[in-house]
Amino acid sequence: MSSGRVDGVYELGHALHVLDGELHGFSRSDIERVERFWTFSDLHTSSAGFVLRLRDGRRAYLDFQHWHAFEQDEDFRIEIEFLDGETALPLFESPEEPLGGWSGETSHLDKVFAG
C-alpha cells in the first residue's frame, strides 16, 4: 500500500469537524480506529461512511454528506448509528449501496487517531 493514500481523508476530516459529543454520543477523542469505510463524490456532493471502533468498545457508523459550494455556503450533514455485534454493518436501501463500495484498508485513516 502506498503511504500517499488519501481516499476518505477529506470526508473524515470534515465529519470530525462537525462531530459533537453531546449531540452525537461520542467525540473525536473517543474514536480508537476506523474499521471500514466507503466514499463517493461527483461534481456537486461528497459522501462517505465510516464504521468506527470507539475506545469504550462500542461501534458506530458515521454517515457524512457534503454539498459543495459554488456561489453559496457549504452544507455538511452527519448522522450516527450505533451498531450491534462485531460484524454488523449499516443497512442500505439498495444492494448497490454504499455507492463507493466498502474498503477495509484504513491504516491511512487511523493515523488521524494515533497518538
* Average pLDDT per consecutive 10 residues, the chain (115 residues; last block may be shorter): 72 90 95 92 84 95 82 78 82 67 89 73
Specify the pLDDT at position 2. 46
Specify the pLDDT at position 1. 41
Please state the pTM of the whole predicted model: 0.84
Residues near 6 by beta carbon (within 8 Å), at least 6 away in sequence: 108
Residue 2 lies in a domain: no
Residue 55 lies in a domain: yes
Tally of domains within the chain: 1
Residue 4 lies in a domain: no
Residue with cell 460484524: 87
Residues 29-56: tens digit of each pLDDT: 999 999 999 998 887 788 899 999 999 9
Q: Which domain holds residue 21?
A: 9-110
Residue 3 lies in a domain: no
